[in-house]
Amino acid sequence: RRVMVDDLDIRERARVLKDKVDVSLAKGHINPMLQLANILYSKGFSITILHTNFNSFYTSNYPHFTFRHVLDNDPKDANLSKLASKGIGDLLSGIMLLNQCSAAGFHQELNQMLIASKEPIVCLITDALWYFTQSVADGLNLPRLVLRTSSLFCVLVYASIPVLDDQGYFNQLRLSGRGTRFEHESVDLDLRNFISPIEESNSKKVENIESVRNLEERVSELPVLKAKDVLKMRIKGQGDPTAKLLANMLKQTKASSGIIWNSFKELEESELQKIHQDFPIPSFLIGPFHKYFPATLSSLQEPDRSSITWLDRQAPNSVLYISFGSAAQLEEQEFLEVAHGLATSNQPFLWVMRPGLVKGSEWLEMLPNGFLDEVGERGHIVKWAPQHEVLAHQATGAFWTHNGWNSTLESICEGVPMICSPFWGDQPLDARYVSDVLKVGVYLEDGWARDEIASAIRRVLVDEEREDIRERARCLKEKVNVSQTTLGPD
């Protein structure tokens, strides 16, 4: 009996730990890295993947790679134990902490690898966020290439943070314009959540700041953006821990031997010119990676195949696919607005409800009473979907997305119009780009209100306007195909 109880305890602890690890992973970073590794492998390189024990890899999916644990962090370490929770604040403080404390250990392990390796190690490729690896690579005379998993546009905005800060764009807690109240509350609330444990003492409570601009005003330096887009990045200015992290990331990217982008020239032509001016190192635009190696091949989570059998029963272009990526979290009220909006829109939907998507909830328990009965067969809910296949399915008519860059690119590649509901970071920037530059999305820019949600759903799936959006999305898809035939990942 004792053995059984112990056994259960252990299993439960292992399950909880695995959930934490899976949620805290940003698949939007790991998927592209694995896809890039596959692309390079197909060009004849042998690949060693270095990863920490924060990742749970299904290494059996990659028998052609060598996997090596590095920086074998002690989970009992007082600092690291703070990281095992779910919010984006924890994710960012984890990134900062590992950057601060990993250089010596990584230098030692990489050095041992260089000495022991039978083949010459020609290059280290790291995610741009691991900026500490530049000094390690320099110290070992090893070229470092940076993988940047966002759009070029987003990096240009990050590079403009000091200018935007000087012009007061981050200090707008009293604002005028539509949706002000929502914005104010949301930003204030989230800033408190967002303060990372390790940087808490540096953060100052933001209060009593006079309104300087209208939310709807275009940013003079970057006219694609509105003032409220800058706020939604959830940065409080140059002194903010996230801004410092981004500044370090950009500095060490400029010191690298080159940047690999998961984007393509035809999509961000004018941004590429500016990147060449700001970053005097080679830029390699070899995306979209998933066109060479689908995301499902590099996925760390089993997708629910019932998504496809359910889609097979729906009419062409009729379904709204909903997913907010691997890390974003909804407040309970926002979640209820989503559910009511879906119910009133009366359109078929496939909804990815990741466990932990709603703060304070395990899975579906916060759905309004009677919701599942009301929508019946019209709606299908899964924990994780084969997103690439879903977007390519003929029944999928639109994608309600948080505009993580991978999701945005995947939607563009399949010619699927978007409803944009970004959460933080690069997402509000991509949402603005999708709606105002590419014009293939409807931006829910004033938050989560059921009527506006239902109206946006009708705009992309039912109203006459949907044909124009769909046509532009189709043209963009063509550009992807052209870019692939002219470039390829050579």
* Binding-site ranges for ligand UDX (CB under 6 A): 26-29, 31, 149-150, 295, 299, 303, 323, 325-328, 352, 384-385, 387-388, 404-407, 410, 425-427
Grouping H, G, I as helix, E, B as strand and the rest as coil, residue 164 is helix
With tokens 């800060």, the residue in question is: 165
Residue with the CB atom nearest ligand UDX in the bound state: 28
Minimal distance in Å, beta carbon 54 to ligand UDX?
Answer: 15
Task: In whole angstroms, give the CA distance from residue 179 to residue 215.
Answer: 9
Residue 397 or residue 425: which is nearer to ligand UDX going by CB? 425
Minimal distance in Å, beta carbon 154 to ligand UDX?
Answer: 8
| Single-letter amino acid code for the residue at 46 | S
Residue 279 or residue 324: which is nearer to ligand UDX going by CB? 324
Residue 252 or residue 387: which is nearer to ligand UDX going by CB? 387
Task: In whole angstroms, give the CA distance from residue 33 to residue 50.
Answer: 11
Residue 110 or residue 335: which is nearer to ligand UDX going by CB? 335
Nearest Cα to Cα of residue 381 among 401, 355, 351, 411? 351
Which residues have a Cβ under 8 Å from the Cβ of 184 and sit 6 or more positions away?
A: 173, 174, 175
Residue of 19, 64, 74, 127 marked catalytic:
127
Task: In whole angstroms, give the CA distance from residue 482 to residue 55.
Answer: 36
Minimal distance in Å, beta carbon 403 to ligand UDX?
Answer: 7
Nearest Cα to Cα of residue 133 among 69, 73, 65, 50? 50
The enclosing H or E element of 50 equals: strand 48-51
Contact 397, 318 (CB under 8 A): yes
Whether 127 is catalytic:
yes
Minimal distance in Å, beta carbon 233 to ligand UDX?
Answer: 11
Residue 133 or residue 326: which is nearer to ligand UDX going by CB? 326
| Single-letter amino acid code for the residue at 159 | A
CB atoms within 10 A of CB 362: 10
Residue 256 or residue 427: which is nearer to ligand UDX going by CB? 427
Minimal distance in Å, beta carbon 410 to ligand UDX?
Answer: 5
Whether 278 is catalytic:
no
Minimal distance in Å, beta carbon 476 to ligand UDX?
Answer: 17
Task: In whole angstroms, give the CA distance from residue 226 to residue 106.
Answer: 41
Task: In whole angstroms, give the CA distance from residue 59 to residue 99.
Answer: 25
Taking only Cα atoms into account, the Rg of the chain, rounded to an integer number of angstroms, comes to 22
Residue of 7, 19, 22, 29 marked catalytic:
29
Report the catalytic residues: 29, 127
